[in-house]
C-alpha cells in the first residue's frame, strides 16, 4: 500500500467516471499506456480487480465500488490542501457531477445551479437529466456526486435533504369537457383518459396516487418527458398531472387549463440526495450551501 501513488488514484477515479482508459487518459493528459499501467499497478498492490470488463467498457467491481469514495476523498483533500497552500481558499475549481430529475432539470435548472455558478464560476458542472430511479442508480454507482430529485427516496446508503416544496396540477386542453364543469368532484373523472410519465419517475408515482383516489379511468399514453405529456394534453389526447412550473407558458396563452382539484393531494418535496460514503469536500459543501441547505 505504501507504493500507491496519487497518479494511480487519479487514474482509478477518472476511469470510474468515464468508463474507459482512453477517455481517462485524455481527461488527465497522460498517454493511454501510462494510464493502463497505473491502473494495473494499483490493482496489483490492492490485490483485487477494481473494474469488470464488459463489451469494451469498464464497470466498477464490488471492490472498486468500496474504494472509489476513498479515492475521491484523497483527490479532493489534496486539491483542498493545494488551494489553501496557494492562498486561494475562496477560489473553488474542479468538477462536480450533478444529476437532476426531469422536472428540475428542465424547468428549475436556473434555481438549482444559478447561485452556485454565480459564486463559483471556475467549477466545471456536468449535469445529467433523467428520471428519479436513474439518478438514484447514478448515485449508488458513484457516476454522479449529488442528485436533486422529485418525490420520496428511501435507501440505507443515501442521505436525503429537503430542498423545496413543489406541486403537480391536473391539466386539460382548453376545449376539454372537464374545463366546462363547475365545482369539479371526483365523480366527474370517471372514464377520464390519462397520460402518465413512465414507471420509475417520481411524477408517475404521485400521478398514480391521484388516479387511485378517483373513479376508474383509462391510461391512454405513457411518455418519458414532461414536455411530451404537455403537448399531448394540449392536443386533446387526455388529461395529466403536470408540474406547475411546466404549465405557465401554455396556460398564459390559453392552450392549457389547470383544473381545480382540491380533493387531490398533489404536493411533493424536491430533495437533494447524497451518498453517505461520498466525501463531502469543499465542492459539495459549497453546492449544498448554494441551495440554502444545512450540510449534515
Q: What CATH number did the domain enclosing 254 receive?
A: 3.40.190.10
Residue 103 and residue 50 share a domain: no
Domain count, the chain: 3
The residues near 217 (Cβ < 8 Å, ≥ 6 apart) are 189, 190, 191, 192, 193, 194, 211
pLDDT tens by residue, 197-221: 998 888 999 999 999 999 999 999 9
Residue 52 and residue 132 share a domain: no
Predicted TM-score of the model (pTM): 0.81
Residue 261 and residue 182 share a domain: yes
pLDDT at position 88, please? 52
Residue 38 and residue 159 share a domain: no
Residue 275 and residue 153 share a domain: yes
pLDDT at position 101, please? 92
pLDDT of 292 strictly over 70: yes
pLDDT of 295 strictly over 90: no
CB 250 within 8 A of CB 234: yes
Structural element, H or E, at residue 172? strand 158-173
Q: How confident is the model at residue 141 (pLDDT cuts 50, 70, 90)?
A: confident
Query: Is residue 277 one of the residues assigned to a domain?
Result: yes
CA separation for the pair 59, 61 (Å, rounded): 6
The residues near 234 (Cβ < 8 Å, ≥ 6 apart) are 173, 250, 255, 256
Domain of 134 in residue numbering reads as 94-164+270-292
pLDDT of 296 strictly over 60: no
Residue 118 and residue 169 share a domain: no
pLDDT at position 92, please? 84
Residue listed under C-alpha cell 457531477: 97
Give the 3-state secondary structure of residue 246.
helix
Q: How confident is the model at residue 243 (pLDDT cuts 50, 70, 90)?
A: very high
Query: Is residue 72 one of the residues assigned to a domain?
Result: no
Please compute the mean of the pLDDT values over residues 85-112 and round it to a whole number: 85
pLDDT tens by residue, 246-291: 999 999 999 999 999 999 999 999 999 999 998 888 899 999 999 9
Residue listed under C-alpha cell 471492490: 63
Q: Which string of b and e fits 111-135 if b means at least 16 CB within 10 Å?
A: ebbebbeeebeebeeeeebbbbbbb
CB 158 within 8 A of CB 146: no
**Grid coordinates belonging to 119:** 459564486
**Grid coordinates belonging to 118:** 454565480
Q: Dihedral sign for Cα 7, 140, 157, 287, please.
A: positive
pLDDT tens by residue, 14-71: 999 888 999 999 999 999 999 999 999 999 999 999 999 888 789 999 999 999 999 9
Query: Is residue 76 one of the residues assigned to a domain?
Result: no
Q: How confident is the model at residue 114 (pLDDT cuts 50, 70, 90)?
A: very high
Amino acid at each position: 500500500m505504501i507504493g500507491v501513488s496519487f497518479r494511480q488514484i487519479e487514474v482509478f477515479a477518472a476511469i470510474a467516471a468515464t468508463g474507459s482508459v482512453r477517455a481517462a487518459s485524455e481527461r488527465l493528459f497522460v498517454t493511454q499506456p501510462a494510464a493502463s499501467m497505473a491502473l494495473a499497478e494499483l490493482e496489483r498492490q490492492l490485490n483485487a480487480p477494481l473494474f469488470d470488463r464488459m463489451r469494451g467498457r469498464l464497470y466498477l467491481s464490488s471492490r472498486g465500488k468500496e474504494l472509489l469514495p476513498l479515492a475521491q476523498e484523497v483527490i479532493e483533500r489534496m486539491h483542498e490542501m493545494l488551494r489553501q497552500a496557494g492562498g486561494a481558499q475562496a477560489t473553488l475549481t474542479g468538477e462536480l457531477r450533478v444529476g437532476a430529475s426531469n422536472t428540475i432539470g428542465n424547468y428549475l435548472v436556473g434555481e438549482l445551479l444559478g447561485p452556485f455558478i454565480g459564486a463559483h464560476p471556475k467549477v466545471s458542472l456536468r449535469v445529467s437529466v433523467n428520471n428519479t430511479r436513474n439518478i438514484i442508480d447514478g448515485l449508488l454507482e458513484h457516476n454522479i456526486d449529488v442528485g436533486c430529485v422529485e418525490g420520496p427516496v428511501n435507501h440505507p446508503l443515501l442521505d436525503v435533504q429537503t430542498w423545496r416544496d413543489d406541486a403537480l396540477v391536473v391539466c386539460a386542453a382548453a376545449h376539454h369537457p372537464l374545463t366546462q364543469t363547475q365545482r369539479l368532484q371526483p365523480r366527474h373523472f370517471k372514464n377520464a383518459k390519462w397520460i402518465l410519465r413512465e414507471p420509475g419517475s417520481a411524477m408517475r408515482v404521485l400521478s398514480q396516487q391521484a388516479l387511485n383516489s378517483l373513479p376508474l379511468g383509462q391510461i391512454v399514453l405513457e411518455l418519458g418527458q414532461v414536455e411530451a405529456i404537455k403537448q399531448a394534453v394540449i392536443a386533446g389526447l387526455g388529461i395529466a398531472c403536470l408540474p406547475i412550473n411546466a404549465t405557465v407558458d401554455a396556460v398564459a396563452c390559453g392552450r392549457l387549463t389547470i383544473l381545480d382539484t382540491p380533493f387531490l393531494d398533489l404536493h411533493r418535496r424536491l430533495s437533494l440526495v447524497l451518498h453517505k460514503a461520498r466525501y463531502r469536500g469543499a465542492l459539495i459543501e459549497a453546492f449544498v450551501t448554494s441551495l440554502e441547505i444545512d450540510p449534515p
